[in-house]
Amino acid sequence: MRTKQPLSTSLSERFFVFDVFSDTMLEAVFFDFGNTLAAARGALILVREKYTWPKFRELGADVTFKAFLAACDRVEKHFDQTCSFEELFTFQIRVAEELGVSLSEVEAKTIENEIWKRHVSKTVLYPGALETLQWLKGQNLKLAIVSNAWRQLLQSHLEHLSLNSFFDLVVAFEDTGTLKSDLKPFELALRQLEVRAEHVIHIGDRINEDGACRQLGIYYIWSTFHHPYPGHSAHRAAFKDSYDTTVNSYDWLLAYFKSLI
């Protein structure tokens, strides 16, 4: 059974790894997008504060921003993540129902379209992400995005952030019609790039989705950039059997890659 060991004394407080690449050549790195490469969640909350919440207040929802976010969270918890991009407007209708206001399909589509336009414009890369991608690309590694996001939205983000040139492959929801927990997106990426799972590292923030790649033999780095107290030992220990490595900044991540190559 493999044992988690610190990579080095200087990194050990926040960065624990399985030493599994000493005899294995790294050929490819897969990235999730939202909350892994870019601060998508923070951008969405900002858009909800500046645009969506005021819009619903205009419709008669007399609620605080905190209560509005809670309503969005309740809807998100039960929302069908496998719906089509064209059906996303139904999220706004369900939020309206939660808040007890009326919202037509036309109004919901208008709001949803504006949300995603603003979301793309407000989303930024995490500090150090660009430098890490540049370094990895310079090592002639194959790079891929493997995401549950819809292609139209994902492509808009990549174009806005000028990231398209870094990736040999982008796997979006429509490519398999399944979420990453089903494994098909990872299997597709492996086939398309012609790499073996044991030669691949995947980085993502959702253990229940991204961590599924371990079933195929892919090495999983849990990115905790947007989690509360991301490097805290108790937080890390709670999921200790679900990841291979955890990292909370691109400085640490780049240091890890440099230790492998």
What is the pLDDT at residue 224?
Answer: 87
Q: Where are the domains of the chain?
A: 5-39+126-260, 41-122
**What is the pLDDT at residue 233?**
54
Per-residue pLDDT, averaged over 211-237, amounts to 76
**Higher per-residue pLDDT: 14 or 224:** 224
pLDDT digits (tens, 9 = 90+) for 123-156: 999 999 999 999 999 999 999 999 999 999 999 9
Least confident of 21-25, 43-47, 229-233: 229-233
The model's pLDDT over 30-40, given as tens digits with 9 standing for 90+, comes to 999 999 999 99
Query: Quick one: pLDDT at residue 232?
Result: 47
Q: Is the pLDDT of residue 117 over 70?
A: yes
Give the percent of the chain with pLDDT over 90.
75
Contact 14, 185 (CB under 8 A): no
Mean pLDDT across 170-184: 96
User: Do the Cβ atoms of 115 and 49 come closer than 8 Å?
Assistant: no
Q: DSSP character for 181?
A: G
Name the amino acid, one letter, at 66. K
Taking only the tens place, the pLDDT of each residue in 18-29 is: 445 555 689 999
- Average pLDDT rounded to a whole number, residues 49-63: 97
Q: CA 120, CA 115: separation in Å to the nearest integer?
A: 9
Contact between residue 210 and residue 179 where contact means Cβ atoms under 8 Å apart: no
Q: In the prediction, which pLDDT does 227 show?
A: 63
Domain boundaries 5-39+126-260, CATH class: alpha beta
Mean pLDDT for the stretch of residues 179-197: 97
Share of the chain above pLDDT 70, in %: 86
**Residues near 81 by beta carbon (within 8 Å), at least 6 away in sequence:** 148, 179
Joined tokens for residue 175: 């490519």
* 238 confidence band (pLDDT: 50, 70, 90): low
Q: Which two tokens stand for residue 232?
A: 């805290």
DSSP-based three-state secondary structure for 16: strand
Least-confidence region, from 177-181, 224-228, 236-240: 236-240
Q: Do residues 219 and 30 make contact, with C-beta atoms less than 8 angstroms apart? A: no
Of residues 63 and 242, more confidence is placed in: 63
User: In degrees rounded to 5, what are phi and psi of residue 97?
Assistant: -65, -40
Q: Average pLDDT over the chain, rounded to whole? A: 88
The pLDDT value given to residue 247: 87
- The per-residue pLDDT for 60 is 96
Question: Does 199 score more than 70 pLDDT?
Answer: yes
pLDDT given for residue 6 in this prediction: 37
Q: Is the pLDDT of residue 11 over 60?
A: no
Q: pLDDT: is 167 or 239 the higher one?
A: 167
> Would you say residue 4 has pLDDT above 60?
no
